[in-house]
Amino acid sequence: MHEMHDAVIVGGGPAGASCAIWLARLGLSPLLVEAAARPGGLTRDNPFADDWIAALPGATGQQVADNIEASVRAAGVPLRLGTRATGVRPCKGGVEVALDGGGAGPALARARALVIASGVRAKGLPGYPAGERWPGVLIGPGSPIVAQDYSGLSVAVLGGGDNAFENYVYVRNRGAREVHLYARSVRAQQQWVMRAGAQGVRVGPYQVDPAARSVDGRRYDLILVFYGWEPQADFADSLKLARDERGYIRTDFATAQTSLPDIYAIGEVANRMHPCVVTSMADGVVAAKAIQRRWERPGA
Ligand SMILES: Cc1cc2nc3c(=O)[nH]c(=O)nc-3n(C[C@H](O)[C@H](O)[C@H](O)COP(=O)(O)OP(=O)(O)OC[C@H]3O[C@@H](n4cnc5c(N)ncnc54)[C@H](O)[C@@H]3O)c2cc1C
């Protein structure tokens, strides 16, 4: 028989880790499930200074992730790392979450509540399956962009938001032979648009052929795609939770509860506040306190 946890939290980024830490410290029994080898979420992919957290001056995103991991361990949160939630269904007194740990650990976790904290993934090229990849085509920001050697290469950067403009400027300063930015429309902050300048920036419709690595018929050594983000919570699709028009899970603002009782969604997957580490961690607190109130005053 599987142990009944108070809450299974899927996703060990800032939101899920914060929720699990608060639940553990509030005397409840969480189980934190994380697909990656270590907790930390998207911020582990950020090697640059994270100057947006008032309490952590000078820390890089990766150090923030290390701190999150240290806090999870200090709170004694039970962890399933390298384990992906693949499905969920209601069971007597709660939910059963199907787990794929690559053969390690039980294939099922049971809990009185489910907290969905599985974040977002970078959007790929429209018209292709979500996970499809091509040589020389990098999707989304983070470590792979930083690890890439741009010396002497011709590079196309696709997208009209902050990430596209910021990375366009970044690549231009990394020894590339030529860099062009393609934006159907411009949504980036003015400071990035100014820094990018007009030369090399093409605004309007364009055609991409990822297999030929070309844009409007012009071949590039590298194509970098920054088309924004989309929520990732496919494992919970069977619950048919209410979503907004962009697919983010709808929640009650005061409790982070979804359209189903005892199912919560926090952090970027629910897009409740401006997406960042601090708001995601705050969401974790909201859900943990709501779960505590629910079990300590079941009628509430
Ligand atoms: C390059 C980059 C730089 C950034 N810089 C900053 C910054 O300077 N300051 C700032 O505040 N924010 C920054 N952010 C944003 C910040 O990282 C996010 O807002 C934050 O990480 C969101 O937290 P989250 O917990 O909602 O989701 P995530 O961090 O995305 O965590 C979700 C976790 O869920 C796991 N997961 C997903 N599906 C499953 C599943 N089925 N089973 C098990 N686990 C699953 C994922 O592996 C992931 O670890 C940056 C993001 C990027 C990509």
Ligand 1 centroid to Cα of residue 11, in Å, is 9
Helix (H) or strand (E) run with residue 120 in it: strand 120-122
The rounded distance, in Å, linking the Cα atoms of 114 and 88 is 9
| CA-wise closest residue to 242 among 283, 270, 266 | 270
What is the value of pTM for the model shown?
0.92
- pLDDT(300) > 60: no
pLDDT tens sequence across 241-284:
999 999 999 999 999 999 999 999 999 999 999 999 999 999 99
How many other CB atoms are found less than 10 A from the CB of residue 78? 15
pLDDT tens sequence across 134-172:
999 999 998 889 999 999 999 999 999 999 999 999 999
- pLDDT(298) > 70: no
pLDDT of residue 296: 84
Q: Which residues pair with 84 in a beta bridge?
A: 100
- pLDDT(106) > 90: no
The rounded distance, in Å, linking the Cα atoms of 239 and 80 is 22
The set of residues, in sequence order, having a beta carbon less than 8 Å from that of 95 and lying 6+ positions away, is 8, 88, 89, 110, 111, 113, 114, 262, 263
User: First and final CA of the chain: distance in angstroms?
Assistant: 29
Q: Count helices and strands (H / E) in the chain.
A: 6, 17
Structure tokens at 125: 């090229």
Distances in Å between the alpha carbon of 31 and those of 39, 52, 275?
Answer: 13, 29, 24
Tokens 């983010």 sit at which residue? Answer: 248
Cα dihedral across residues 70, 72, 74, 79: positive or negative = negative
30 lines ligand 1 (CB under 6 A): no
Tokens 């970098």 sit at which residue? Answer: 224
Q: Which of 48, 118, 273, 279 to mutate to test the pocket of ligand 1 (most atoms within 8 A of CB)?
A: 118
Please compute the mean of the pLDDT values over residues 110-133 and round it to a whole number: 94
- pLDDT(299) > 70: no
The rounded distance, in Å, linking the Cα atoms of 247 and 250 is 9
Ligand 1 centroid to Cα of residue 66, in Å, is 13
Q: Which of 234, 277, 285 to mutate to test the pocket of ligand 1 (most atoms within 8 A of CB)?
A: 277
184: left (phi over 0), alpha (psi -120 to 50) or beta: alpha
